[in-house]
Structure 1
Amino acid sequence: MKLTICDTAPAEWAGEVLALGVYDEGGAPSAQPWLSGVDAALGGAVTRLLAHDSFGASLDELVTGPGVPGRCERLVLVGLGRPDEVTPHTARRAGAALARTLTTGPNRRVAVALPSWHAGGDEIVEHVVEGLSLAVHCGRWNVLTDRFRADYGSDLPREPESVELLGCAAPERLLRRAAVFTDAVVLARELVAAPANLITPERLAREAAALADADGRFDLEVWDEKQCAEQGLTGFAAAAAGGADPARLIRLSYRPADPVGPPVALIGLGLTHDDRGVLRSGGAVQGAKKYMAGAGAVLGAAAALSALGGPTEVHLLIPAVAKAAGPGAMRVGDLVTTASGATVEVNHEDAHGRLMLADSLHLAARLGAGRTVSVSALGLPVAAALGPKAAGLWSTHEALAADLVAAGRAAGELLWRLPLVDEYDDELWAPFANMRSAGPESGDAATAAAFLRRFAPAGGWAHLEITEPAWSPRIDGYYNAGATGYGSGTLARWLCPR
């Protein structure tokens, strides 16, 4: 799908589908000067369309009908909501609503026109384009080459050959950023949605190698279980024992010519399969997949960093394990020594992810990280408080937390700050070890964050828990049904500021 910016007026454009974005200004849409002007130029096509539908231009509202012979085959009106309430998220939803109309009929050439491409103090072209592109991706496999579906079928949006943004004066770099951030989300989606027999720890390492080879600015190291043990990552080795596939610790390092400030570390937990996750989800397929969403988000962010670059040295760490109860697997009651030297009494069947993150945080400290962000889909029970569309955020650093929340807002990914207080440390007390792996079930999310804080580097640290928003049970705006790619947009924008 080719996206272009052009100054052609809607009344002069010719093609298959002409989409007009309409703001909700309180009155009849047909009375808006911009829309009435287009209507007059199109011989009353807008008026005829509105006569058969009670279109009010609210967000996600859409009406479509016949266009003008010789000019456009279909005319689409897309609601943008109130102009003073437009956000990156609502602009993406408007783009996605348009994409959902492209499932039938000819749509080789599509044009989109808005009364203004500027809202909320920012150009919204980047966000409209992202919503359109992400919705068109729904159900497709654009990155992974494996055969997942014999045919796409008529139920998927048809990707137009071209989309022209009429009357848009935004610089081309915004289209470039939109394409990069879309690609980051798509990569994360496809990795998480793919079956565990294909996306193994070794396959994740190969995907990281492909990024490194394509870019040339990344250094790549991949350690197997033996090498991890030699590096002192004993907590990771304990979690990897008995896995369904050989474990890998992946490190991608990005080093600009003149780095600004101390290095940054991103850690994405990669449980490519979780046997107990299947049980927790009642046997649903997402229980075998979404627990590697942290790894997918970090690799998506790496792809964005590869394309856009950034001012800071970045180390991207992915501890990857296919969790299973094979021979030698960690058991409840075991005592595990972590890379930091601290000992952990395993008192819960799901300690694996925490131990993998603990050693990765220690490794980030060894690499000199000044700010560290870890991302996981551990299945922690934050959904009861936040629902399915927000991720939990814990942080030891106010400015880092604020930066991530702002990046999330720009990405349409809601992050909600949760408490990280000393009182939770008492819940991890163990008589014969430095700590237990888990506290009481009622406060599992809070005590998990307290556990990880013990291993965090001395600089700023934040943790994102994305289990619920990483998977959607249905198509929702610009989200797929299934893996959403959640987290990759936040991390990409944090690493690649304008």
Structure 2
Amino acid sequence: MNVTVEKRSAWWTVACDELVLPLWKEEELAQVYPELDQRFAGGLAALQQDKEISGEAKSVAVVHTMSRLQAKKLIVIGMGDREKADFVSIRAAWGRAAKTVGGKGSGKTVAVDLRGGRELSTSRFAQAVTEAFCLASYHYEGYRQKPKREAEPLGTVKLLVGSDEEAASAMLGVMRGEALAQGTNLARTLVNEPGNYLTPRALKDAAVAVAKRFGMAYEVLTKDKLEEMGMGGLLAVAKGSVEEPYVVVVKYQGTETWEDVIGLIGKGVTFDTGGISIKPVAGMEAMKSDMGGAAAVIGALEALGQIKPRANVLAVIGCVENMPSGTAFKPGDVITTMSGKTVEIITTDAEGRMVLADCITYARKQGVSCLVDAATLTGGAVVALGHYCSAALTNDEALVSELLSAAAQAGERLWQLPLFEEYCELNKSRYADLKNSGGRYGHCIIGGAFLREFAEDTPWVHLDIAGTAYTSSAKDMQPAGGTGVMVRTLAQFVMNRNQSNA
């Protein structure tokens, strides 16, 4: 799908298959688009009077033009209350529009009136519309013998603006929207891939492919190197699987000097059986999504490679599989991590924190100025926040404020949970420095407290996306499956680190 920007001409001359117009709750269509209403001999005003056209949120009206316009269909999207509108609600409205347009037949052209108004700048409005169409058009085919999809992809979405100045601003929004959506869709695909296809090697290859595509420096740490470096936590998780473990290190350098480096850490457990502490069979198939944190980091790198902000990022992605076998690590084992800290294994199903512990230590040793890790870490995050909001825990209030702000800008929900010292005490062990499970209650917080031990004095935020990385049902711009959550937040966070890209 191609997104372009054009200056408006007379509405009836716009060359497209479908013309899409936004309408706010308080607006009269005939007053906003009087020329169009005249072409319909007052018919559009009559349709609004009969409530077949409405500015109410979630309203979508389709009008066949009967050759009154070059467009075959006129689609009116209800935008809701203008005073309450924000980036999220506007993107959602256009996501519903994207689900309506197109229909059968590929390559169709849709023209959109980019009427931003006071609620968003032209650039942000263009970004919202672009993200909506790109995210809503995502489709994962999978491995069916005969491909099947409900609707063919659009060919072109034309954003119509009123001036050259608006066009320049809109193009910036389109570029950012496409980059962020493409990064999100890449992450969705990685999460949707089955575990027998997306092995640790394949996940490693996906990260390397992004690095190569944008000329980013990268290094792949293989098992021998991991052993040499003492990454005992990650290697313990990998022991039960025939799949080799990897750590992928990618450097995005957007400034002349390699300083003020942001560390992004991704948990990449490509399938999690729970290991010896095996999970119940019900729902285990969804554990292919346990690499959602790694997918978020890889997707963010994809977006950053396109947007090119003036900032520096060190991405560290741990790629392993957690399986039960005669060689698997087991409850009661004591593992020495890369940091030198020892960990008593209470449950092998708390494996993600072992992977992250070593990846965090590696990033710290590389001298990053701050750390953000993303992981499908705990079922406790799902219990606490459900499937509509990710959790954030931190040792640095200023840093988490940046993440919360970035999430709001990106239109993703993020909520900070407390990290009191009492929770940290629960991770203490009789036989080692730490234990990898401090109890059931407050599990999400306890998992974050464990990771804090490895972040030490480096400013750090942990993003638990266990409840948001995968969904069993479709909604708005999100089909069932991988969500690509936190791609846009991480990318926005990096962009905000340089004011010229904020």
Q: Give TM-score, length-normalised by structure 2.
A: 0.91
**Structure 1 152/99 Cα, relative in aligned 2: closer, same or farther at 3 Å?**
farther
- The structure 2 residue matched to 1:153, chosen from 148, 154, 176, is 148
2:119 counterpart residue number: 119
- The structure 2 residue matched to 1:274, chosen from 272, 294, 298, is 272
Which runs of structure 2 are paired with 1:424-463 in the superposition (5 Å)?
424-463=423-462
- Structure 1 residue 43, shift from structure 2 partner: 3.7
Which amino acid in the other structure matches residue 163 of structure 1? V
In 2, distance between residues paired with 1:154 and 1:223? 39
In 1, distance between residues paired with 2:81 and 2:305? 37
> Helix, strand or coil: the match of 2:243?
coil
Contact conserved, 2:255 with 2:312, CA < 8 A, in 1? Answer: no
In 2, distance between residues paired with 1:164 and 1:117? 18
Which amino acid in the other structure matches residue 330 of structure 1? F
> Helix, strand or coil: the match of 1:419?
coil
Gaps of 5+ in 2: none
In 1, distance between residues paired with 2:332 and 2:366? 32
> Helix, strand or coil: the match of 1:58?
coil
In 1, distance between residues paired with 2:175 and 2:273? 40
1:66 counterpart residue number: 64
Gaps of 5+ in 1: 142-146
* 1:304-347 deviation per Cα after TM superposition (whole angstroms, max 9, x unaligned): 12222232321101111111012321101111111111111111
**Structure 1 73/322 Cα, relative in aligned 2: closer, same or farther at 3 Å?**
same
- Structure 1 residue 286, shift from structure 2 partner: 5.0
1:288 counterpart residue number: 287
**Structure 1 437/279 Cα, relative in aligned 2: closer, same or farther at 3 Å?**
closer
* 1:55-110 deviation per Cα after TM superposition (whole angstroms, max 9, x unaligned): 43222221113124152211111111111222221122122111111353567121
Greater Cα offset, 122-131 or 323-332: 122-131
- Structure 1 residue 53, shift from structure 2 partner: 4.4
In 1, distance between residues paired with 2:86 and 2:278? 38
In 2, distance between residues paired with 1:44 and 1:105? 30
1:403 counterpart residue number: 402
- Structure 1 residue 267, shift from structure 2 partner: 0.3
Which amino acid in the other structure matches residue 341 of structure 1? G
- For the aligned residue pairs, the C-alpha RMSD in angstroms reads 2.3
1:236 counterpart residue number: 234
> Helix, strand or coil: the match of 2:326?
coil
In 2, distance between residues paired with 1:192 and 1:163? 27
**Structure 1 18/86 Cα, relative in aligned 2: closer, same or farther at 3 Å?**
same
Contact conserved, 2:102 with 2:108, CA < 8 A, in 1? Answer: no
- Structure 1 residue 280, shift from structure 2 partner: 5.1
Contact conserved, 1:291 with 1:379, CA < 8 A, in 2? Answer: no
> Helix, strand or coil: the match of 2:324?
coil
Greater Cα offset, 229-238 or 147-156: 147-156
Which amino acid in the other structure matches residue 12 of structure 1? T
Q: Aligned pairs, how many? A: 487
Greater Cα offset, 235-244 or 445-454: 235-244
Contact conserved, 1:380 with 1:465, CA < 8 A, in 2? Answer: no
Q: Are 1:47 and 2:45 counterparts? A: yes
2:381 counterpart residue number: 382
In 2, distance between residues paired with 1:366 and 1:228? 14
* 1:2-27 deviation per Cα after TM superposition (whole angstroms, max 9, x unaligned): 211112243431321111111112x6
Greater Cα offset, 192-201 or 280-289: 280-289
Q: Give TM-score, length-normalised by structure 1.
A: 0.92
Contact conserved, 2:378 with 2:443, CA < 8 A, in 1? Answer: no
**Structure 1 259/480 Cα, relative in aligned 2: closer, same or farther at 3 Å?**
farther
Which runs of structure 2 are paired with 1:347-366 in the superposition (5 Å)?
347-366=346-365
Q: Are 1:253 and 2:251 counterparts? A: yes
Aligned-pair identity (%) = 28
> Helix, strand or coil: the match of 1:441?
coil
* 1:282-307 deviation per Cα after TM superposition (whole angstroms, max 9, x unaligned): 53365221111000000001111222
- Structure 1 residue 274, shift from structure 2 partner: 0.7
In 2, distance between residues paired with 1:423 and 1:439? 11
* 1:223-248 deviation per Cα after TM superposition (whole angstroms, max 9, x unaligned): 22221010121111112111241111
- Structure 1 residue 360, shift from structure 2 partner: 0.9
Which amino acid in the other structure matches residue 135 of structure 1? A
Which amino acid in the other structure matches residue 109 of structure 1? T
> Helix, strand or coil: the match of 1:265?
strand
1:22 counterpart residue number: 23
Contact conserved, 1:188 with 1:299, CA < 8 A, in 2? Answer: yes
**Structure 1 323/55 Cα, relative in aligned 2: closer, same or farther at 3 Å?**
same
